[in-house]
Amino acid sequence: MFSKSRILRFLTISLACLAATAQATSKDARPNIVYILADDLGYGDLGCYGQKAIATPYIDQLAQQGMKFTQHYAGNAVCTPSRSSLLTGKHPGHVRHRDNPRFVHSYGFLPEERTFSEVMQSAGYQTAITGKWHVGDRNDSEDIPPYHGFDYSYCVGFPYPEGGVEHWPSHLFENGEMVKIPANQNGQRGAYMDDLYTDAAIRFLKERDSEKPFILFLSFQGVHVPMDGKISPDYADKEWPEVEKIFASMLQKVDTNTGRILEELEALGLASNTVVLFTSDNGPHLEGGHDHEFFHSNGPLRGAKRDLLDGGIRVPLIVRWPGIVPQHSQSDHVSAFWDMLPTFADIASESVPADTDGISFLPALRGEPQKQHPFLYWENQEYGGQQAVRQDHWKLYRKGVMENASGDWELYNLNSDPAELHDLAAQHPEIVRELSKHATNSHVPSPIAPLFR
């Protein structure tokens, strides 16, 4: 809405000034962005990606209204390094976070590192995060979201909730200040964490500055362990192990809370000018008694959380952008978390930091010719240290590198063997040599979490 003074000025300015005002108004109309990140949700966990046993109607509808990506990769196979790639636009060989530190041992970004939220602030966007941060959780430090480009934040942090309970927190932190959750005091379980995060996200949508575009990062805790969600009536009578009933119910919560956000965007008249993205931070977990194969959570892929096989890093990505992204569409474009920063910047007409490893996939969203990655690279400390490279349809993989830096590589053809079952390294030594050079050149040693000993 224009102010009275701006309307009066509009009526009296010259033609040249009128053109400038039109340009500014056009910039103000840039789309909002809502980026929804599930935790440990696998490639096969959603109905629109083949899930049969658990209903995900809101997310499936989102896919029908937009584009489903089949070749999208997380930043890593565990939480912290994956989110580090997402936030900074750097691949796993360049990010500060290479391991998955817990609690008091967590650490944050360097002062000179720019997150996508800082880039979007520079573009004039309001920025908010509600949910899991996990790239520096100490609220007695400058590692938390308010110091890294978020105008509003509502997150878990250290000191952690009583008893280490993740899904029923005794307190959270709003803009760095502790807020008690009355329904969860003294061990009570009255308020579910993802509901609280969604409530905060909706408050932000309602209370934002309506004169400016926004980017909202809603980072769910589900379906991460512990498996302590309440069992939904929809699954209570299923002949499943109790832990799988809980898993299905937690996934249902991810879906219904996503639906709450979509409905709020409609109610506020924002849906037509908001890009909504839904994805997961890594592949499905096999923790807390849950069997990721019970619901075929990794779909046709092999591996799970912590693996750099595709089951651990290939994740769903759904993008809805009314009028831009065709409905009922699908993209096989190969992309990764480090592409999100340049994509957001591109949407906001903002320049991209020079040190990013990402490539904007805005052209793919628009149906235009899209620049491709020459290759993608991952590394982490899981399973004795792993490395992986994807180039075109080839995937190079090895583990145990912390003890054996010259260990054998495995090579897979993802076109004919998406489950990575048939090692072709012996048949194609020249491809192994080429892709292994990418791994060598992409790894920058980390003083905090070294890959090689």
- Condensed to tens digits (0 to 9), the pLDDT of residues 319-332 reads 999 999 999 999 99
Q: Decide if pLDDT at 307 tops 60.
A: yes
For residue 164, name the pLDDT band (cuts at 50, 70, 90): low
Q: Give tens-digit pLDDT for 328-361.
A: 999 999 999 999 999 999 999 999 999 999 999 9
Q: With 70 as the cut, is the pLDDT of residue 21 above it?
A: no
- Burial (CB < 10 A; 0-12, 13-18, 19+), residue 191, is middle
Cα 404 to the center of its chain, rounded Å: 32
Q: How confident is the model at residue 160, as a pLDDT?
A: 79
pLDDT tier at 8 (50, 70, 90 boundaries)? very low
216 and 349 share one domain: yes
> Kind of pairing, strands 67-69 and 329-331?
parallel
Whether 233 and 324 share a structural domain:
yes
Per DSSP, helices labelled H in 339-390 are 340-347, 362-366
Average predicted confidence (pLDDT) for the chain: 92
| Phi, psi of 162, rounded to the nearest 5 degrees | -55, 130
Domain contains 6: no
Residue 55 has pLDDT above 90, yes or no: yes
Q: Do 207 and 176 have their domain in common?
A: yes
Mean pLDDT of 97-115: 88
Regarding predicted confidence, which is higher, 19 or 365?
365
- Judge if 46 and 108 occupy the same domain: yes
Shared-domain flag, residues 255 and 343: yes
Q: Is there a contact between 253 and 192 (Cβ–Cβ < 8 Å)?
A: yes
On the question of pLDDT at 6 being above 50, the answer is: no
Same domain, 353 and 381: no
CATH code, domain carrying 417: 3.30.1120.10
Domains contained in the chain, number: 2
Residue 397 has pLDDT above 70, yes or no: yes
Q: Do 218 and 317 lie in a common domain? A: yes
Is a pLDDT exceeding 80 seen at residue 220? yes
pLDDT at 5: 34
- Give the span between the Cα atoms of 33 and 344, in whole angstroms: 8
> What is the predicted pLDDT for the residue at 163?
60
Quick check: 26 pLDDT over 80? no
Q: For residues 401-413, give the mean pLDDT.
A: 96
State the Cα–Cα distance between residues 355 and 370, nearest whole angstrom: 20
Q: From residue 427, how far is each of 370, 410, 423 by CA, in Å?
A: 32, 11, 9
Q: Label residue 446 exposed, middle or buried (CB < 10 Å: 0-12, 13-18, 19+).
A: middle
**For residue 222, is pLDDT > 60?**
yes
State the pLDDT at residue 158: 84
- Domain enclosing residue 307, as ranges: 31-366
Q: What pLDDT is recorded for position 106?
A: 85
**Percentage with pLDDT > 70 across the chain:** 92
pLDDT tier, 28 (very low <50, low <70, confident <90, very high otherwise): low
Q: Are 199 and 109 in contact (CB under 8 A)?
A: no
Report how far residue 284's alpha carbon sits from residue 225's, in angstroms, rounded to the nearest whole number: 11
DSSP at 450: -
Tokens of 357: 């490893």
Q: pTM to 2 decimals?
A: 0.93
pLDDT at 453: 83
Residues 106, 129 within the same domain: yes
Would residue 37 count as lying in a domain? yes
Average pLDDT over residues 156-174: 84
Residue 316 pLDDT > 80, yes or no? yes
DSSP 222-264: TTPSP--PPPPTTTTTSSS-HHHHHHHHHHHHHHHHHHHHHHH
CB distance 204 to 268 below 8 Å:
no
Give the residue, 214 or 17, on which the prediction is more confident: 214
β-sheet bridge partners, residue 217: 35, 129
User: What is the rounded distance in angstroms from the CA atom of residue 341 to the CA atom of residue 109?
Assistant: 16
Is 90 exceeded by the pLDDT of residue 3? no
Q: Does 308 lie in the same domain as 386?
A: no
Mean pLDDT of 32-47: 98
22 has a pLDDT exceeding 60: no
pLDDT tens digits, 429-440: 999 999 999 999
Quick one: 238 and 296 in the same domain?
Answer: yes
Token duo for residue 354: 């020079």
- Asked whether residue 338 falls in the same domain as residue 435, the answer is no
> What percentage of residues in the chain have a pLDDT greater than 90?
88
